[in-house]
Each structure stands twice: as structure tokens, then as C-alpha cells.
Amino acid sequence: MKYENNLAFAKAQDQQDPLKSYRDQFYIPVDNDENELIYFCGNSLGCQPKVVAQYIEQELNDWANLGVEGHFDAENPWMPYHEELAKPMAEIVGAKPHEVVVMNTLTTNLHLMMVSFYNPTKKRHKIVIESDAFPSDKYAVESQIRQRGFNPNDTLILWKPREGEELCRYEDLEAIVKEHGESIALLLIGNTNYYSGQFYPIQKITQLGHANGSKVGFDLAHGVGNIMPNLHKNGPDFAVWCTYKYLNSGPGSLGGCFVHERHHKDEKIQRFTGWWGQNKDTRFNMRKGFDPIPTAEGWQLSNPPILSMAAVKASLAIFAQAGMKNIREKSEKITGYLEFLIDDLNNDRISIITPSDPTQRGCQLSIQVKNADKSLHEQLTNAGVISDWREPDVIRVAPAPLYNSYQDVFEMVERLKNIL
């Protein structure tokens, strides 16, 4: 697409946008005068779908009227409620429905996956993560290493950008795997990277790890709902993600988990267990030994929180209607437009560190600010643009395809230009 730096072009793109009607299905935050803000913070908390209240109200009414019988007699029975989310979530991440389950929160799921897929030995105990992994991932990994009796200083390997660069190079990951070889037990990569916005090649990393005899997992918190990870085809052992960012399920809402089907019937696999992962036919026979469901559901611990799950269900219905292919296509175009306009400012105070290649990024552009001055972000906020700041020097801006417009992008950059 050939972009133009004018409002007429932005409005024309909005008129032609096949997803333009979806904006009306979301509440856009407003200022004190009830004017809509330019909300580019879907990478931290997505906007609320208007239908969420209706979904939650249904469950509140059934709880009030039915009590415990709602598990079986509610309009949407609570016992199998999570099962209804598997297919639409699987379509978003490119998996088979039985490989996906909505449960817990992201870091809890990450710990559960490492229990199963990080099996260190004296010879093979190292974990590789990107150096700028989200802090919670690093904390979780370090604690798992200590729990297994190893020292993170010896066991944790960081995949780093080269000196003077901001992005990780795949060939440097290859060099790490070649150097450490059979001592690597797990490659665990955050995708896309929360700080730089870089999207790492899932299939290539998976093949690299598996060829080395290592397990491979991904944290898709900043990718799910805006990239197409094709998890089943690309073949990682597991993946985890949250749903409150691009999937718009509300603050602190549930996470999602993928376990490739080749592991479902592995009786030797280690896992932490709970009654909701038990064979459904014997789940309520309290004196039976643990017999895991032979799907991703077998990693569940407890019965799901229905009110939070209702919000997930509401958002997934919108995604199913819009289609991930359409969402991804718009994402590439609208993010490309944002990049074009920022580059056109030609201002040496800022630069974009996110890859320019659309296949190597999601919705997010990371704007690096010279001299790490947070005042620019604060001025942008005061100008009615909601983005976020990540230390030491980045403003993250993420136009979400379902509810952001090309006009949003144009007006955001105009306000940025005035501030600069």
C-alpha cells in the first residue's frame, strides 16, 4: 500500500476498511469532557466489548435464580463452560481445539508448563530466554531453576541483541544452541517481545530446539490476537498467553494454554494436578486416583471462574465473527501507516526500534526516545493519546485492528508532531 500523510487519506482508508463496524462494538475511553481518547494501549489492556455486561449478567442471573444447579441448568451450564471457548481460541492461535484450554493466569500456566516440559538433568539443565523477556517470565524461570536445585547464574542463558542494536538476531540464537548443545533443556521465548515489539520465527526456533533435543515453549502474551502463531503446524511443545490485552477480556482476566497433541497421552510426563484435569467420567468419584483428561484440559487444576470466563467468551465471539485473517491484514496495514507517519516526522529525538518488516512484528511499535525522557510520553498522554512507557526509554503504541482507525493513527501522530 502507498501511504499518504493527510487526513483525507486516513478517512478514505477507514471508509474502505472491512472491519470498520467493529469499533462500535467497543467502549472507547473518554476524557473529562466525554471526548474519546486515542487509545493505543491494547498491548496492556484492551477496550471493553459492549456485549460483555450482557454475558456476565446472564451468569449472575442464573447464579441468583438457580444457585448450585446452574452448573447443569444455567442457560450456559457452568460445568462444561470452558469447553465452549476451546474452538474459537484455537482458531486465534492456530491449534486444534483439544490442544487449547482457557485457565488460570499467564504466569501460573507458565509454571505448570515448566513442571511438564523443563526436566533438568546434571547434563541437560539450561534454559534459553531472550535477554529482555518480560520480567515475570524471567522471575518464573529463575524460580524453577532454583526449585530444581540449579543456580540461575549457571543455568539461565540470555539471547541478547548485539552491542549497539535493539533486536535479537536469529543467527545468534543458532550460535547459542551450537555452543551449549546438549546442556540446553528448554528454549522459552516471549513472542512478540514486550519491549521491542519483535516477533520471533516460531517454526524456525521450534525446529532449532527440537533438532538439539530441547523442549520449546512460547509466551504469546503480546502476540495473541494480533499475530497468527499457527501453533499446531509450527509444533512447539507448549505456549501460554493472557487474554486481557488484544483479546479484551478485562483486567487480570484468565490466561490460555496450548499443549501440542503429541504430549497428551504421554503417561510419563510430569505435571502438577488438580481435580478439574481428572477424567470427566470419574471426576466426582472422589476416591479414584488421578486419571488425566487426554487433552490440554488434563493440565487444569480447578473449576473455572465463570464470571471472568464470560468476558473471555464475549470477546472471542467478536474475534470469530471478524476472523483472524482479516484482523491480521488490517494490523499490518494500520501499523505500517503509523510507521510511515512517524518516519515522516524526521525527528532525531525519536526512532522506531520495532522491525520494519510486518512479518517480524505484531500491532505494537516501540518508539525509542533519545535521552530516555519520559516527559514526551506524559505530554502525549495530556494530549489525549493513551500509550504506555517502558523503562528505560520506550513509548509503546499499539493500534488494535478491531477498534482503532486510520484516523486515530493520523491524529495521534499530528499531536506527537505538535509536541515535538
Concatenate the DSSP letters of all residues of 31-79 into one string: -TTSPBPEE-BTTTSPPPBTTHHHHHHHHHHHHHHHGGGHHHHSSS-ST
- Contacts (Cβ under 8 Å, ≥6 apart) of 337: 1, 3, 10, 13, 406, 409, 410
- Domain 7-50+323-419 class, CATH top level: alpha beta
d(CA 47, CA 403): 8
Model pLDDT, residue 1: 82
CATH topology of domain 82-303: Aspartate Aminotransferase; domain 2 (3.40.640)
Q: Which helix (H) or strand (E) holds 258?
A: strand 255-259
Model pLDDT, residue 288: 82
The dihedral sign for the CA sequence 267, 202, 389, 89? negative
**Residue 240: beta bridge partners?**
219, 257
pLDDT, tens digit only, all 420 positions of the chain: 899 999 999 999 999 999 999 999 999 999 999 999 999 999 999 999 999 999 999 999 999 999 999 999 999 999 999 999 999 999 999 999 999 999 999 999 999 999 999 999 999 999 999 999 999 999 999 999 999 999 999 999 999 999 999 999 999 999 999 999 999 999 999 999 999 999 999 999 999 999 999 999 999 999 999 999 999 999 999 999 999 999 999 999 999 999 999 999 999 999 999 999 999 999 998 888 999 999 999 999 999 999 999 999 999 999 999 999 999 999 999 999 999 999 999 999 999 999 999 999 999 999 999 988 899 999 999 999 999 999 999 999 999 999 999 999 999 999 999 999
* CB atoms near residue 98 (< 10 Å): 17
The dihedral sign for the CA sequence 330, 336, 338, 341? negative
Q: Which helix (H) or strand (E) holds 238?
A: strand 238-242
Q: Which cell goes with 207? A: 525446529
Q: How far is CA 415 from the centre of its chain?
A: 29
DSSP letter for 153, please: H
H helices present in 159-283, as ranges = 170-180, 202-211, 231-234
Residue ranges of domains in the chain: 7-50+323-419, 82-303
d(CA 369, CA 195): 13
Model pLDDT, residue 285: 87
* CB atoms near residue 34 (< 10 Å): 6
pTM over 0.75: yes
